[in-house]
Structure formats: C-alpha cells, structure tokens
Structure 1
Amino acid sequence: MDSSDADNHPLPTSALATAFLALREAVLAQWSARVMAGIPSAQRLGAPALAAAMPLLYDHIAHALQAGAPGAFAAAREQATLSDYGPDELIHELQIFRDVLFAAAGARGLALSKRDAELIGRSIEDAERDAIHGYDAVGRQAKETFIAALSHDLRNPLHVASASAQLIQLKTSDPGITNLAKRISAKLAETDAMIQSLLDAAVSEARQKLTLQLAQVDIMALIEEVCGDLPMVGQRVRVEGDAVKGWWCRGSLKRVLENLVSNARKYGDSAQAITVTVSQADGSMLLAVHNEGRPIPAADLRRMCRGFQRIEDVRVKGWELGLPYVQAVAESHGGSLAVDSAEGRGTTFTVKVPVDARPHVGS
C-alpha cells in the first residue's frame, strides 16, 4: 500500500479506529496461524508466546489511532517468560503481527495516513522493546534464584563440617589433631563468608517472588531433621509448640530453618539453649527461632526491619547474611518475617506463613 495514496484519502480518526477494530479477530487468527506454522518453539508450546498479550496490543493500537498519539505499552512483558523462547523468536512474532496487520488493512481498503502507519509501527516497536526487557528480566531472576539456592545448599554442609571440626577439638587431647581441626574450621569459615556474600548479593538484587514447589509438610519433622543435621557443639536446641502440617515448599523452609538456627548458634549465647517454637493462629503458622545473648544493636535492628538490607559496619557481624532469602521465602508463601531483639530477652526471628500457601503462590 502506497502511503502517499493513503494520505490523499484519510479516514476520520473515529472511523479508522472502528474499522480497525472490526478486523481484530481476523488479524489475530491469521497471526496465530502464521506463528504456529513458522516458529518451531510455538509449535512445541502449542501456542504463540505472546498469545495473551497480542489482543491487548491490538486494542492499544486502536486507542492510539483514536487518540492520534502513541501511548505506553507494557503488556507483552508478562508473556515473555517462556524459557523455550529466545528474544529473536519474540521479535519474530511481533514482526509477523505487523505484516499481517498491514496486509489486512490493505485488503480491506483502509486508508492509513503516514501518521497512522507511524503510530502503528511505533506501538509495535514499543512492544518489541518491552518483550525483550521482560525476557532479560526473567533471565536475571532465574540466574539470581539459582545462585541463591545453590549458595544455601553449599552453606549447609559447610556448617555441618565446621561444627564437626569443633567437636573434634573438644574430644581430642592430641595437639596435632587439635591444630588440624582449627585450620579446617578457619578455612571453612573463609569459604562460608564468600558464599554468604554471594548469596546476599543475589537475593537482595532479585527482590522478587521465588519459585516454590508446594507439598504437605510436617513442620515438626522438618525441624527435627534440620537440628539433627547441625551438630551444636554442646548447645541444646529446645523445640516447643504445636504439631502443624501445611502446604509449603519443603526445600525453601528447610533452608530458612538452617539459616536461622545456624545464626542463632553462631551469634547467641552458647551456654543457653536455642528455642524453636511453632504455633498456629488465624490460619497461619508461626515459626520462631530464639537465642539468648547480646541483642542486635537498635540502630542496626531498625535498618534490618526496613528490608533486611546488607549492613556493612555492625558490631554483630553476620546477622544480615541470608536474611533477604528468609524474607523472600516468607513473602513468596504469602507471609512475612519479623525480628525482636533487646537486652534481657535475646533475639527472636519469626516467620509467619499461611497454613495453606497454595492460594498465595503464583499470584
């Protein structure tokens, strides 16, 4: 279609938008058919990646034609999350849409002015940029989630090995073995510090909901498993409260427990027992880990409660490490994380999650 001819016989704005909307179903059907025939990833998935976004884009273009000006479009982003798709295939879907749209307008005899064609082209370009931005964001989130999970999985055996090395020191009188155990502990501590920094950076950067695998979980059985896997070097762990079963992600809750109990062991009073308490109220399960000893300084506590951000210069080193992940797990279940710390009552971290997290996951 020659744009100069269209400029000689332009349709009024309202008439053009009405005629454009009348082509909607035919254009979308032809677009879907061409995508399914020409893009192998769409064939494997059984639908175009932008199937849900394209009707919104079409209506967006109609509104732009009605108003005579482009507007912001951000609906393609949510649909650009399919791992089987590459960015070039997302662009290909939008290019097919552009070709089908202009061909249908020409076949119907719609007189598009140069400005009308530019509005349509600009809207499709905006959708292309948005789709790629969403694709990149999903890639970053997947990478950060992987780093966070791997970091926690690496930390847990390190904690077991470190506690075991400390037990060896307590149970031997051989100076050579004692020194070797101390060297092992020191190297494990160095490795743990590096992994914790990686974990903290990854999770605090992501700040998004985690992908959870829900199943029925017996929280008391999980607590027993975690405490059994973490030698406490003479420090007791007292478990109290209700036997609660719920729909949660077992793996992520296990990491939460390991993190909180390990922190309580490292930064609490080793002469006092760590207390893990489970309670249930108003459809939620409350999991609290408490330790006696020096509290978190008030200024640092306020900063932690503003989002558990990393604290560089604190007297109690390490409390913030891993807490962004704990908070992310709680919030991804539809819950929250709270901390209470004061002189005379010690420190308590409380994770609150719905007993049935299924309605909150994926929303």
Structure 2
Amino acid sequence: MLASDQKLNQNGLSATSKQVLSMRDAVFAEWEAQVRLLIKGAQHILHPTLLNTLPVFYDNIAEALTPNHPRTDATSNTDIAAAHGDERARMTSYEPEQIVHEYQLFRDAFSRVADEQGVTLSRAEWSIVNSSIDNAVRESIRKFTEMHKSFRHKMAAALSHDMRSPLSVVVTAAHILTIGTTPEKTPGIARKILDNGKRLDTMIEELLDALSFNRGPKLPLELSEFDVLKLANAVCSDASVSNDAACSVIGSSLTGYWCQNSLRRALENLVINAGKYGDGNGVQIKIDEAHGRMLLSVHNSGNPIPSDNHEHIFEYLWRDGGIRDKNGWGIGLPFVKSVAESHGGSVAVDSSAASGTTFLIDIPVDCRPFVV
C-alpha cells in the first residue's frame, strides 16, 4: 500500500476498501488522460510530477472507507494534500483554478471507474470520498497560495534592497545635472543614468519572470544512479549502532537517479528523530514505487505530533514547546523538505495516536529532468 501511515498490507481493511485499492491504476489512467486533455499547462508536465502525491492520497481514501479506521477521511492526521499544493506551486505554472479542476476530474474518474468495475459504495462511503476530495481542495489551495504569497514577500524585500543601489546613482546623477556641471562631464553623468536605468529595467523584468513562474530555491545536487535500498540499509545499520531503538527496512531494490549525499542526510535526520521521539519500539524505513515516484518513508510509534503543528514542523528554526524536545535547532526537518523539493518532489507527515508517526519523502525515481 502507498498510504501515508506506512501501512504494509490490506489486512484489516473492509471489502470496499480493497475493491477501491484494486481500481487505483485504472482511476489514474482515466484521470491523467482527462487532465492532459482539459487542463491548460498539463500537457507537457512529466508523468511523475503530474501524479505527485495523489496515489498516496488515493490509498488514504481507501483506508478511510474501512469502518472504525483512525482515518476519518483521506486528509485526517496528514498534510499530504498540502504537499500536493506546495508541489504544484513549485513545479508547474498552474493557477488555483487548475488545482480545483484536477480534483474535480479526480472525482469524475473515481466515479466512472467504480461504475465500470461494479464497485458499489454506500451513501456514507461516498460521503467519505467526497469529503476527502473537498478537504484536499481546500488544503491544496491554501498551501499553494501560501507558497506564492511567501515568495512574493521575499522577492519584494530583495527587490527593495537591491534596487536602491542603481536608483541612488540615478537620483544623484540627475541632481548633479539640475545644479549644473561642466559640458565635458555631462555625457558621463547621462551615461550613468542610462546604464543604471537599464539595470533597474532588467531587475524588474527578472522579478516579473520570477513572480509568473516560481520554482523556489533548490539545493545544489550531484545526481548519480544508485539503489535506494542499499542506502536505506546503510543508514539503518548505522542508526541501530548509535540508538537503542532497533531499525528495520522493508521494500524492494529500487534504482534511480538522486543525490546520494543529500538523500542520505535527509534519511539520517528522519531516522534519528524517529528513534529520539518514538516509544522505543523501533524505527521502520519503507521503500515503495508508484507511477515513476519513489516513496521513502520512516515510521515510529509513540506520542503523535499535534495536527496543529503539521504545517510548522518543516519551518526553519521552528521548535515545539510541547512534547517535542527543545534541544534541537529546528534545522533537520527543513533540510529534509529542501532535499525532497530540490529533487522535484515533496515531504509529508502522517501522525496519530493509533497509527504512529510517518514521514514520507515522495520524489521522482529519475530526478534528472527535474533538477536544474
């Protein structure tokens, strides 16, 4: 399974949940065809980026369809929908209405495939599916908007700072001309005004380009081909030596193109945190692959992260004053986020008392087309 709580199999799920899982590939085949046909800008988005975190969201829906499951809908206990909106802001030229349209097409595809395959949902089950999609739309749009708003604030601050230098030259030179100067100096002063005016024009063009399409800051990466299973086993082996909590790895060999150094550091951060904040019952690394995406997750049991903190834990230097230890500097999780985003993907958290805590790195298997 691909659900964000690192569930390993379909044990304990209802018959309806299992039927929904069995039609996942058909739903996404139908959905992708409609998105590429109907949504402007989607035609040239590569397959792994187009699907991004949606397969995980889909399996969360399947879990929520099981009665008495801790997940009441696909967005409860997790920020996976927000990760979708964040990635759309960074990796595409989408506007908010295109995200809404995607989810509308997702609902339509789900309904059509269910009809075609004879999967019958009760009114209560359809309510779960619809509330999952409606909540995902809100969370995705909120994160998408926050991403662009934050970027605009940063660019405005940088612009106001950087433009002062050429603007100062223009004002000073113009002032000299107004009070009079020797004829032989006039061409040189005018040239300074012209040159710095051109600098300002270039800076404004760059700002407009950045505001119209933002991919955000990225880490410098050195991509190479390697097996992530070997990397996970190495990290787990080191963690088992340095921590009391046992570490285990599940999943199959998966070879792709990533930055081995940064991905190792990100995984080490997650494993160390999982051992530190878990209940001592071990840390589990899981490797999955779906639709050209690698899903690398780290799970621990114990006290959950409060849902109100899910949107803050990836912020630089943020520390929780509650159950989380204050000794850290709040750098590890923001670094994990930077690694995932720089690889053209996302990171998400799923945390509840019933399911424990899972951090999920969801990135393309071959990151070369997404790393500039």
Q: TM-score normalised to the size of structure 2? A: 0.42
Q: TM-score normalised to the size of structure 1? A: 0.43
Which is bigger in relative contact order (C-alpha 8 A, separation at least 6)? 2
